[in-house]
């Protein structure tokens, strides 16, 4: 359906609403630097607010701060329904609030239900643990595929490296859930598509014949916009019981871990393909090494 015009105005102000085409704000927010429409970024830019100093949520009515718009429903075009429109336009009020100063680690209370692995330190300088495939998330630095790889133009040939950087193996099967840790492993290996290996413990990457590998076509419905809708839905909700990525302790895991699970679910589905060169650990374990499709842009 044709997306309606958005009339954007700051909450509880008498300013004139700004006219925004609906197609420029199909998604609520994104976390990775890829081409994607995002409502939050538009609001910060149009209304001249610094995202480091302000947070923002949205109302469909001005006046009282209640009934804010939800990202998951926005991404699924729920608010573009006729019941939310006035004369075919969506009136949206951006409510900015100052960002609170972050609490230090020592000030965050720890409870018996909080396990150490639910806090992921992405800046750790500690080398990855190679003792087994059961390495937990708090013991490694995870490189997400959209962050760690450079997208290749479909007009350029796909070059296959002779060495492949060590990728972390995790198992998303429901049987691998660790209730004590609050985290899980991924059977998927979000490959970084061929960064040179510097870790001497993992220098025996699997070899493939470049001439024998052909990149499969991206399905017609696997668009960038649809990927973000599916991805944010996967971050917000657990996979159905018995399906890939299901977590019995979903409510207890961290947001960062949910994001990684969501990426694995996307790579396992229509947005991923088998890696042309398997990473070392996948080759050793006999696992299927998958990456995002290089033409997903």
How do residues 201-232 score in pLDDT, each as one tens digit? 333 333 444 556 688 888 888 888 888 888 88
Shared domain for 76 and 179, answered yes or no, is no
- pLDDT given for residue 109 in this prediction: 47
What are the Cα distances from residue 122, in Å, to 82, 143, 220? 43, 9, 35
The model's pTM: 0.38
282, pLDDT greater than 90:
no
**Within 13 Å and on the Cβ side, how many CA atoms surround 102?**
4
How far apart are alpha carbons 34 and 42 in whole angstroms? Answer: 15
For residue 120, is it within any domain? no
2, pLDDT greater than 80:
no
- pLDDT given for residue 98 in this prediction: 92
* Domain end (from 48, 77, 98): 98
What are the Cα distances from residue 213, in Å, to 31, 90, 158, 207? 32, 48, 9, 12
For residue 109, is it within any domain? no
As for how many domains the chain has, the answer is: 2
For residue 116, is it within any domain? no
For residue 110, is it within any domain? no
How far apart are alpha carbons 192 and 290 in whole angstroms? Answer: 10
User: Could you tell me the residue range of the domain that residue 171 belongs to?
Assistant: 133-297
Contact call for residues 90 and 80 (beta carbons, < 8 A): yes
- pLDDT given for residue 12 in this prediction: 87
For residue 41, is it within any domain? yes
Shared domain for 281 and 194, answered yes or no, is yes
Q: What pLDDT digit, counting tens, does each position of 64-91 carry? A: 888 888 888 888 888 888 888 888 888 9
Shared domain for 211 and 275, answered yes or no, is yes
Shared domain for 169 and 292, answered yes or no, is yes
For residue 252, is it within any domain? yes
Pick the more confident residue, 136 or 124: 124
């Amino acid at each position: 359906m044709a997306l309606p015009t958005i009339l954007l105005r700051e909450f509880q102000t008498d300013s004139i609403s700004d006219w925004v085409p609906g197609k420029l704000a199909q998604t609520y927010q994104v976390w990775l630097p890829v081409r994607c429409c995002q409502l939050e970024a538009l609001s910060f830019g149009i209304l001249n607010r610094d995202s480091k100093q302000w947070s923002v949520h949205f109302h469909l009515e001005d006046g009282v701060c209640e009934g804010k718009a939800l990202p998951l429903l926005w991404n699924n075009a729920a608010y573009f329904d006729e019941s939310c429109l006035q004369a075919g336009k969506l009136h949206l009020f951006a409510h900015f609030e100052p960002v609170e100063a972050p609490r230090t680690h020592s000030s965050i209370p720890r409870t018996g239900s909080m396990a150490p692995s639910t806090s992921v330190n992405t800046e750790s300088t500690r080398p990855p643990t190679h003792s087994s495939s059961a390495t937990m998330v708090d013991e490694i630095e995870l490189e997400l595929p959209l962050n760690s790889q450079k997208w290749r133009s479909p007009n350029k040939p796909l070059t296959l490296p002779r060495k492949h950087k060590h990728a972390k193996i995790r198992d998303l099967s429901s049987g691998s859930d660790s209730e004590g840790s609050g985290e899980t492993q991924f059977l998927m290996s979000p490959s970084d598509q061929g960064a040179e290996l510097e870790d001497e413990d993992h220098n025996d990457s699997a070899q493939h014949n470049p001439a024998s590998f052909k990149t499969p076509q991206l399905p017609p419905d696997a668009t960038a916009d649809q990927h973000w809708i599916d991805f944010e839905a996967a971050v917000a909700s657990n996979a159905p019981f018995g399906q890939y990525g299901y977590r019995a302790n979903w409510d207890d895991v961290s947001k960062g871990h949910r994001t990684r699970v969501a990426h694995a679910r996307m790579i396992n589905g229509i947005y991923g393909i088998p890696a042309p060169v398997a990473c070392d650990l996948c080759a050793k374990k006999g696992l299927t090494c998958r990456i995002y499709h290089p033409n997903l842009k």
